């Protein structure tokens, strides 16, 4: 993941000192995807799901992939996973 750059005078997320006169760098969230998750799928996850459980990440990714393959029937019955699937499905459909 590429580090983000901030202008002079702004502090990073970790409240570190500014490395140079012009910018400070830091990374948001985890830098590496968890085991059994590809970098492609890791990059399509929104920032708030990167700290979630692997099952929640997979529900979102499955919604994204199902929309890509023109599958619009939600396979999940419980509310939390159904919402994550709908979120992934909707993000793919609204990305254009």
3-class DSSP assignment, residue 14: coil
Q: How far apart are CA 52 and CA 48, in angstroms?
A: 8
3-class DSSP assignment, residue 19: coil
Contact of 61 with 83, CB cutoff 8 Å: no
Q: Give residue 27's pLDDT.
A: 47
Q: Give residue 86's pLDDT.
A: 95
> With a cut of 70, which residues of the chain have pLDDT below it?
1-30, 96
CA nearest neighbour of 59 among 94, 83, 37, 93: 83
What is the model's pTM?
0.66
Q: Give residue 14's pLDDT.
A: 46
């Amino acid at each position: 993941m590429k580090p983000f750059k901030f202008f002079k005078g702004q502090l990073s997320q970790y409240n570190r000192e500014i490395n140079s006169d012009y910018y400070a760098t830091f990374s948001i969230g985890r830098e590496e995807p968890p085991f059994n998750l590809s970098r492609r799928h890791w990059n399509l996850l929104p920032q708030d799901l990167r700290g979630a459980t692997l099952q929640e990440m997979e529900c979102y990714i499955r919604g994204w992939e199902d929309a890509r393959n023109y599958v619009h029937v939600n396979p999940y019955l419980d509310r939390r996973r159904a919402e994550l699937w709908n979120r992934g499905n909707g993000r793919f459909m609204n990305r254009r």
